[in-house]
Amino acid sequence: MRNQETFYSGPQALHSITGSVCYQGDFWLRARGLGGPRSQGATALLSRVLLEIMVATWRPTFIFALVPKNLAAKGAHLRYGYCHCEPGRWLAPDQQVTEEDHLIWMGADDMANLVADAPQGLHLETGVSAVRVVPREVV
For residue 20, being part of any structural domain is answered with yes
pLDDT classification of 32: cutoffs 50, 70, 90:
low
In a domain, 129, yes or no: no
Domain presence at residue 127: no
CA–CA gap between residue 20 and residue 32 (Å, rounded): 37
Residue 139 within any structural domain of the chain:
no
What's the predicted TM-score (pTM) here?
0.75
Torsion of the alpha carbons at 124, 126, 131 and 133, rounded to the nearest 10: 170
CA angle 134, 137, 139 (to 5 degrees): 160
Residue 13, domain extent = 7-116
Residue 118 has pLDDT above 80, yes or no: no
Flag whether 39 is in a domain.
yes
How many distinct structural domains can be found in the chain? 1
Please tell me which residue, 56 or 31, carries the higher pLDDT value.
56
Identify the weakest region by mean pLDDT among 17-21, 51-55, 129-133: 129-133
- Binning the chain into helix, strand and coil, the percentages to the nearest 5 are 30, 25, 50
**Residue 34 contacts residue 125 (beta carbons within 8 Å):** yes
* CATH code of 73's domain: 3.40.630.30
In a domain, 130, yes or no: no
Could you tell me if residue 84 is inside a domain? yes
